[in-house]
Amino acid sequence: MSYLFMESVLTFGTLGFVLALAYVNIRQTEKQLEESRKRRQGLEAAVAE
């Protein structure tokens, strides 16, 4: 195998790993935001009553 081929495999593997971690982080952040919005709406509804 050539050095260039091994280097490209390592590069794309690293990029794929970073993109996978970023995707998981985005989904987790969206879930946390949704939960906090529901909590805030519940508190606002309780205060309004």
pLDDT attached to residue 47 = 82
Cα dihedral: 3, 9, 10, 15 (round 10): 140
**Residues 8-45 pLDDT 10s:** 999 999 999 999 999 999 999 999 999 999 999 988 88
pLDDT attached to residue 33 = 97
The structural domains of the chain, with segments of one domain joined by +, span: 20-49
pLDDT attached to residue 34 = 96
Quote the longest CA-to-CA distance of the chain.
71
Whole-model pTM above 0.75?
A: no
pLDDT attached to residue 48 = 78
pLDDT attached to residue 44 = 83
